Amino acid sequence: MSSLPPYHLAPAMPGSIAVPVQLSHVPAALGSVRPFLTHSGITVGRYCLLHAAGIMLPVTAGLLLYGWRALGLIVILCASAVLTVLLLRIINGQGRNLRLPHVMHMATILSLMLPAHLLADGRNLSSILPASLWATIPAAGVLLVLLIRFLGSSCIHPALAAYMCLLPALGPCMVPHWILQRNHLFSGDLVNAKTTTGPVEIGDGWVHMPVAAGSDSLCMEAVSERLWLYSGHLDKSWSSLVNSLTPLEDLIIGGQPGPIGTTSAIAVIIGGLFLIYRGVIDYRIPLLIILTAMASFLILPVPVGISTTKVQWTWLAMHRAAVGPALALTFSDYEILAGPMLFTAFFLATASAIRPMTRRGRVIYAVLLGILVAICQLYLSVAYGPYLALLAVGLLTPLMDRTFRTHSLLVAS
């Protein structure tokens, strides 16, 4: 018996004969010790963890750029959401349908959409802000859980819905102005700024700006605000706009005031690529959103000339001699990098409850979303335009699921 290979144990059954076969190698699966083969082991919790792993990079970038207040905001929001679920379970047992990994994932996403200065005494920031500004964070957690319960797996993203509820309620408090200086990354206090009365001149941008002594952070105007002032034809001319913006490098690494998770474009892109690599999200959606939005930014009318009496709107501004292709592309890049468009494309629009189920449906969905994102950013708001666009296009998902179906490989349609 000892001469027989291990996979060739002699049967003790009467009438059966061991087949004397010598395979050149033992298949790897023979050495498997996994007791259950009927499921891959990727449960809903692990599915959410996969998403969470992709979002860790924007979280890390946010913690570095906005310090411990960002960490506190994320922790408080997640904790309040979890506590709400547990309370719901205790009170009436209705929280049993809510899965804690899913709730925590949604809470993390919502916290990344908020500015870190919400965890501060509002009176120290501005005379118009309330002292109890920080109290909105646990309230946001409670609101999120209630929305998850209410919306379930509908075509509205619960974190997006919670953000849209907070936006009118908080108003100017949602506009970010602060960012840590380079020598105070993570450890600094976000609201210990050089000045709190108005934006500072940023010169060569956050990366090359000299470190100001005596303060942990800088107070400046966000690029998204400047872009909105321009495209809302409230300020500046075309050329002066582009010249007054912070360098694109700052937007790529996140050196500008903004929400915790959406500012660093490179972190968002790498996190999204990780999700694509793991097969958790469909690459078509972010790719088509970005490409369509970029094309739309180049095509849609923008105010090329603004005077006190007249605003000159122009389609395809890149064909105008005063603008040119290079300037138009730069403007398009700023629009893409300044707002939460990339975050929306990689982490919100790809959510399983929102995106259509078929490939053709996803392509249409992404193209529509890209166009609407550009429209909303140009004419409504750079800071929350992509969120509005996603809310609108998400409502079409059930229709796309009904319209587009996959065709079986083996049965002719």
Partner 1 sequence: MNGASDKQSAASDASAAISTADLDNFIALLAKPTRDGKANIGQVPTFEGLETWIERLGVAGVRADRAGSPDLLGQLKQATGQAVDTVVCNLLDDDPGLRLNSVLAARWGAVVVAGAQFLTRLTEARRLFIVVETGSPSGWWSDMISASGRVGARMLALANDYPLANPSLLLHALLGRRLRPGNLPTQQRVLMIDAATAIAVGRIAAHRQAMSHVPLAVRDHLCQSTHYLLVPLGTPVRDVVDGLAPPDTPPSALTLRHAGLVFMGHILRDNIASSHAVIGHGELTMHLLPNRTTMLADPCIRCHWCAESCPARVQPAGLLDAAQSNDLTMARRYALDGCIECGVCSYVCPSKLPLLAGIRVLRRLAGSVDKSLERTAARS
Task: Name the site residues for partner 1 (rule: CB under 8 A).
Answer: 1, 4, 6-25, 27-30, 32-33, 35-40, 42-44, 46-47, 97, 99, 102, 153, 352-353, 357-358, 405-412
Q: Which is nearer to partner 1, 125 or 161 (CB)?
A: 161
Distance (Å, whole) CA 289 – CA 373: 8
CB of 85 to partner 1, least distance (A): 15
CB atoms within 10 A of CB 376: 22
Q: Which is nearer to partner 1, 213 or 409 (CB)?
A: 409
CB of 299 to partner 1, least distance (A): 32
Q: Which is nearer to partner 1, 11 or 203 (CB)?
A: 11
Main-chain phi, psi angles of 219, to 5 degrees: -110, 120
Give a three-class secondary structure readout of 284-316. Answer: HHHHHHHHHHHHHHHHCCEEEEECCCCEEEECC
Q: What residue type is 384 in one-letter code?
A: Y
Distance (Å, whole) CA 182 – CA 188: 10
The answer to whether 361 and 403 are in contact (CB under 8 A) is yes
Q: Which is nearer to partner 1, 186 or 404 (CB)?
A: 404
The answer to whether 53 and 104 are in contact (CB under 8 A) is no
Alpha helices (H) in 180-237, listed in sequence order: 223-231
Distance (Å, whole) CA 136 – CA 77: 9
Q: Which is nearer to partner 1, 68 or 283 (CB)?
A: 283
Whole-angstrom CA distances from 187 to 77, 204, 259 are 20, 24, 18
Q: Which is nearer to partner 1, 42 or 56 (CB)?
A: 42
CB of 251 to partner 1, least distance (A): 32
Whole-angstrom CA distances from 274 to 86, 279, 332, 337, 346 are 32, 9, 25, 19, 10
CB of 24 to partner 1, least distance (A): 4
CB of 32 to partner 1, least distance (A): 7
Helices 359-379/284-299 angle, 10° precision: 40
Q: What is the CA radius of gyration of the chain?
A: 26
CB of 92 to partner 1, least distance (A): 19
CB of 8 to partner 1, least distance (A): 7
CB of 352 to partner 1, least distance (A): 4
CB of 323 to partner 1, least distance (A): 42
Q: Which is nearer to partner 1, 36 or 309 (CB)?
A: 36
**Residue of 340, 314, 387 lying closest to 162 (CA atoms):** 387
Q: Which is nearer to partner 1, 259 or 361 (CB)?
A: 361
Q: Which is nearer to partner 1, 169 or 357 (CB)?
A: 357
| Per-position DSSP letters for 79-133, written without gaps between them | HHHHHHHHHHHHHTSGGGGS-HHHHHHHHHHHHHTS-GGGSS-HHHH-TTS-GGG
For residue 8, give both structure tokens: 């060739």
Strand partners, 178: 219
For residue 99, give both structure tokens: 């899965």
CB atoms within 10 A of CB 231: 24
Q: Which is nearer to partner 1, 6 or 168 (CB)?
A: 6
CB of 57 to partner 1, least distance (A): 22
Q: Which is nearer to partner 1, 17 or 90 (CB)?
A: 17
CB of 358 to partner 1, least distance (A): 8
